[in-house]
Amino acid sequence: MTIDWSWISEHTSDLTTLTLSHLQAALSAVALGLVISLPLAVVAHRVKPLRGFLLGFSNVLFTIPSIAVFVLLLPVSGLTRTTTVIGLTIYTLVVLLRNTVEGLDSVPAKTKEAAKAMGTRPLRTLLTVELPLALPVIMAGVRIATVMAISLVSVATYIGDGGLGQLFTDGFQRNFPTPVIAGVVLTLLLALAADAALVAVQYVLTPWTRRRRSA
């Protein structure tokens, strides 16, 4: 299997467009997933009876094949970017919800009691004490969800919008490996870059964890 380098140099602008579209779909899904999973995680953390239901429900969503999720959304949102983003969001929810609940669980009860004793109201405790302390675990979830979403965008190629995934269909139909190799390599590089960027974000957002590690 040889790579046709001239094909790659002729298609640089196409590859750039596909990469950007790929990244946009994945990032939108993670952002949407965060917006949905944060309030749900707070509910699951505070209301114990709902916890098992919410986590169990998200686990069942995870078992549906991604191709089927995209196809099932077709009657709702058609052959559009919306379908891709909703489908991917469903997958990010599983990871984001579980990690956010675990992050909130990991905050020591004493810390919350101290905040309460100082007269901090529950909402403020959540925003200024619990969520920041849960951030390392939440960010671990965001990293997994982002990498997973980037890899899954290609599946949306079956509904005509798969970013770099279109290269797989193209290569498959023409029996031409170069676009497939380019697609796999670019997806991996994109995931690697996004993961590194998130590590940097976490480093900036959680200065207190650095001191502990160096000690």
Partner 1 sequence: MYELFKNLGAWLVDGDQWAGPDGIGHRLAEHLQYSLLATLIAAVIALPLGLLIGHTGRGAFLAINLSSFGRALPTVGLVVLVFLASGLSMWPVYIALVALAVPSIVTNTYAGMSAVDPEVKDAARGQGMRGHQVLFQVELPLAMPLIMTGLRLALIQVVATATIAAYVSFGGLGRYVFDGLAQRDLVQVLGGAVLVAVVAVVLDLALSALQRALFRHRPAKSA
Binding residues for partner 1, per CB under 8 A?
Answer: 1, 60, 62-69, 71-72, 74-75, 143-144, 147-148, 150-152, 154-155, 157-158, 164-165, 167-168, 171-172, 175-177, 180-181, 183-184, 187-188, 191-192, 195
- Our CB check for partner 1 shows the closer of 136 and 177 to be 177
Shortest separation between residue 46's beta carbon and partner 1, angstroms: 20
Burial-class residue 85 by CB neighbours within 10 Å (0-12, 13-18, 19+): buried
- Our CB check for partner 1 shows the closer of 135 and 150 to be 150
Do the Cβ atoms of 83 and 77 come closer than 8 Å? Answer: yes
Question: Which tokens belong to 13?
Answer: 């602008």
Question: What is the C-alpha separation between 182 and 87, in angstroms, rounded?
Answer: 24
- Our CB check for partner 1 shows the closer of 49 and 75 to be 75
Shortest separation between residue 208's beta carbon and partner 1, angstroms: 23
- Our CB check for partner 1 shows the closer of 57 and 120 to be 57
- Our CB check for partner 1 shows the closer of 45 and 143 to be 143
Shortest separation between residue 157's beta carbon and partner 1, angstroms: 7
Q: Give Cβ neighbours of residue 97 (< 8 Å, ≥ 6 apart).
A: 37, 40, 41, 44, 54, 55, 58
Q: Give Cβ neighbours of residue 149 (< 8 Å, ≥ 6 apart).
A: 25, 26, 27, 29, 30, 88, 91, 92
Do the Cβ atoms of 194 and 121 come closer than 8 Å? Answer: no
Shortest separation between residue 128's beta carbon and partner 1, angstroms: 28
- Our CB check for partner 1 shows the closer of 37 and 154 to be 154
Do the Cβ atoms of 40 and 54 come closer than 8 Å? Answer: yes
Shortest separation between residue 141's beta carbon and partner 1, angstroms: 12
Shortest separation between residue 71's beta carbon and partner 1, angstroms: 5
Helices assigned H by DSSP within the chain = 5-10, 12-46, 48-63, 66-77, 81-105, 109-117, 122-125, 131-152, 165-174, 177-205, 207-214
